[in-house]
Chain A
Amino acid sequence: IQLTQSPSSLSASVGDRVTITCRASQGISSYLAWYQQKPGKAPKLLIYAASTLQSDVPSRFSGSGSGTDFTLAISSLQPEDFATYYCQQHNTYPLTFGGGTKVEIK
């Protein structure tokens, strides 16, 4: 299953609402996760099962979608949110990741 993220990069300001989309090449029910990765660090789980917020993740992050189209939203971008975000399907083997979306400071 191929996952296509868009955009591949975006520039935004602190306080902006940001949305990132992930499209699957076939239906994956609600089995999609989102990760945040900062340079030189391991990825961090934000959301799984499309909309379940991982513990200790701020509520400004939210996920939605099912089937083939999914969205990660950040309601009010904070300085610590500038990073690369990846989606990952956990519906079938082989597990696959999207190509990533880099969120940069405008």
Chain B
Amino acid sequence: EVQLVESGGGFVQPGGSLRLSCAASGFTLSDYYMDWVRQAPGKGLEWVGRIRNKARGYTTEYAASVRGRFIVSGIDSKNSLYLQMNSLETEDTAVYYCARVIDGTTWVDDAFDIWGQGTMVTVSS
């Protein structure tokens, strides 16, 4: 079964750091573009960032709101990817989802077909 499972969420104070993990099963992460999307409590969806596949050199893109603070790190032998979140702000409080892109090499197929269940991050003093 094709599946994504996030972990690593929790409670952190402003200015702190947290690393989220996204473990894949049923497919090879390195073959796909992978994204992080978040959802603040009671709010809509916000794209956070992307890591391209191995063939595209694992290059990354970020939303302006997290650029310079968040890092989508490379896919490893555990078939997992990571979101390193630094200098966290209260506005970063959200459920964080990892999502697979159908085919990021073309805009036509650049939509999210597989999502994890999400992991909650709470930033508060």
Chain A contact residues (Cβ within 8 angstroms of B): what range? 20 to 34
Residue pair B113, A96 in contact (C-beta under 8 Å): no
Residue pair A33, B111 in contact (C-beta under 8 Å): yes
Give the complex CA separation of A48 and B99 in angstroms.
15
Residue pair B61, A93 in contact (C-beta under 8 Å): yes
| Residue A43 interfacial (CB < 8 Å) | yes
Chain B contact residues (Cβ within 8 angstroms of A): what range? 20 to 34
Residue pair B112, A33 in contact (C-beta under 8 Å): yes
Q: Given the complex, which residues of B lie within 8 Å of A93, measured CB to CB?
A: 61
Residue pair A45, B113 in contact (C-beta under 8 Å): yes
Residue pair A48, B109 in contact (C-beta under 8 Å): yes
| Residue A6 interfacial (CB < 8 Å) | no
Q: Which of B8-16, B22-30, B40-48 contacts A (4 or more CB under 8 A)?
A: B40-48
Q: Which of B44, B102, B110, B111 has the most A CB atoms < 10 Å from its CB?
A: B111
Q: Given the complex, which residues of B lie within 8 Å of A90, measured CB to CB?
A: 107, 110-111
Q: Quick one: given A42-B97, A43-B115, are A97 and B107 in contact (CB under 8 Å)?
A: no
Within 8 A of B (CB), among A77-106: 86, 88, 90-91, 93-100
How far, in Å, is B34 (CB) from chain A's closest CB? Answer: 13
Q: Which B residues have a C-beta under 8 Å from some C-beta of A?
A: 35, 37, 44-47, 50, 61-64, 97, 102, 107-113, 115-118
